[in-house]
Chains A and B, each alone.
Chain A
Amino acid sequence: MARLNTPVMLKINDITVGYGAITAVKGLTLEVREGEIVSLIGSNGAGKSTTLRTVSGLLKPKTGSIEFLGERIDGVAGHDVVAKGICHSPEGRRIFPKMTVDENLDLGAFLRKDAAAVKESRERVLELFPRLRERINQKAGTMSGGEQQMLAVGRALMGDPKLLVLDEPSMGLAPVLVDLIFETIETIRKSGVTILLVEQNALAALRIADYAYVLESGHLKLEGDGSKLADDPAIAQAYLGG
Chain B
Amino acid sequence: MSNTSTAAHHAASNNRKWAIGFTIAVLTVFIINQFILPSAPKQVVEFFNAWFSLTSMAEIMVWILMALGLNVIVGYAGLLDLGYVAFWALGGYVAGWLMSPFLSQFQINFFGNPRPGLEMGIHFSFFFVLILGGVFTAIWGIIIGGPTLRLKSDYLALVTLGFGEIIPQFMVNGGDVAGLNLTNGAQGIGGLDDIKFLGYTIGTFSLPEKFLMISMLAGAMIFFSIRLRDGRLGRAWLAIREDELAASMMGVPLWRTKFASYAIGAVGGGIGGVAFATLVGGVYADRFNFVISIIILSMVVLGGMGNVWGVVVGATVLAWVNSVGLVQFGVVINNALGTKINFPSYQFLLFGLLLVLMMLFRREGFIPEARIRMVMNEEKLEDEEKITDETKIASH
Q: Per a CB cutoff under 8 Å, which of A103, A111, A147 touches B235?
A: A103
A222 close to B (CB within 8 Å)? no
Contact of B394 with A137 in the complex, beta carbons under 8 Å: no
Q: Per a CB cutoff under 8 Å, which of B243, B254, B378, B394 touches A96?
A: B243
Could you tell me which residues of chain B, from 247 to 288, have a CB within 8 Å of some CB in chain A?
Answer: 247-254
What 0/1 pattern do residues 95 to 124 of A give for CB contact below 8 A with B? 111110011001110110000000000000
A22 close to B (CB within 8 Å)? no
Could you tell me which residues of chain A, from 9 to 68, have a CB within 8 Å of some CB in chain B?
Answer: 56, 58
Minimal beta-carbon separation of A174 from chain B (angstroms): 6
Minimal beta-carbon separation of B387 from chain A (angstroms): 8
Chain B residues with CB below 8 A from A145, complex form: 386, 390
CA distance A60 to B247 in the complex (A): 18
CA distance A155 to B246 in the complex (A): 11
- Known interface pairs A146-B393, A176-B394; A110-B236 also in contact (CB < 8 Å): yes
Q: Per a CB cutoff under 8 Å, which of B243, B252, B371, B393 touches A131?
A: B393
Contact of A139 with B386 in the complex, beta carbons under 8 Å: no
Minimal beta-carbon separation of A237 from chain B (angstroms): 31
Which of B235, B248, B396 counts the most chain A CB atoms within 10 A?
B248
Contact of B3 with A96 in the complex, beta carbons under 8 Å: no
CA distance A180 to B396 in the complex (A): 10
What 0/1 pattern do residues 136 to 150 of B give for CB contact below 8 A with A? 000000000000000
B7 close to A (CB within 8 Å)? yes
Minimal beta-carbon separation of B395 from chain A (angstroms): 9
CA distance A87 to B232 in the complex (A): 19
Number of A-B contacts (CB under 8 A): 108
Q: Per a CB cutoff under 8 Å, which of A77, A94, A99, A177 touches B245?
A: A94
B157 close to A (CB within 8 Å)? no
- Known interface pairs A94-B243, A110-B250, A111-B251; A144-B374 also in contact (CB < 8 Å): no
| Interface size range on B against A | 35 or more
Contact of A155 with B375 in the complex, beta carbons under 8 Å: no
Contact of B249 with A82 in the complex, beta carbons under 8 Å: yes
What 0/1 pattern do residues 76 to 92 of A give for CB contact below 8 A with B? 01110011000110100
Q: Per a CB cutoff under 8 Å, which of B1, B242, B248 touches A97?
A: B242
Chain B residues with CB below 8 A from A83, complex form: 251
Contact of B393 with A97 in the complex, beta carbons under 8 Å: no
Contact of B4 with A142 in the complex, beta carbons under 8 Å: no
B19 close to A (CB within 8 Å)? no
CA distance A131 to B378 in the complex (A): 20
* Interfacial residues, chain A to chain B (CB-CB below 8 A): 56, 58, 77-79, 82-83, 87-88, 90, 94-99, 102-103, 106-108, 110-111, 131, 136-137, 139, 141-147, 155-156, 159, 174, 176-177, 180
Q: Apart from A94-B249, A137-B7, list 9 A-B contacts with CB within 8 A.
A: A58-B248, A79-B253, A98-B371, A110-B252, A111-B251, A137-B3, A139-B375, A144-B389, A146-B389
Q: Would you give 23 A-B contacts (Cβ < 8 Å), ordered by A?
A: A77-B253, A78-B254, A79-B251, A79-B254, A82-B249, A82-B250, A87-B249, A90-B249, A94-B249, A95-B246, A96-B239, A96-B243, A98-B371, A99-B242, A107-B239, A107-B250, A110-B239, A110-B250, A139-B371, A141-B375, A144-B390, A146-B390, A177-B394
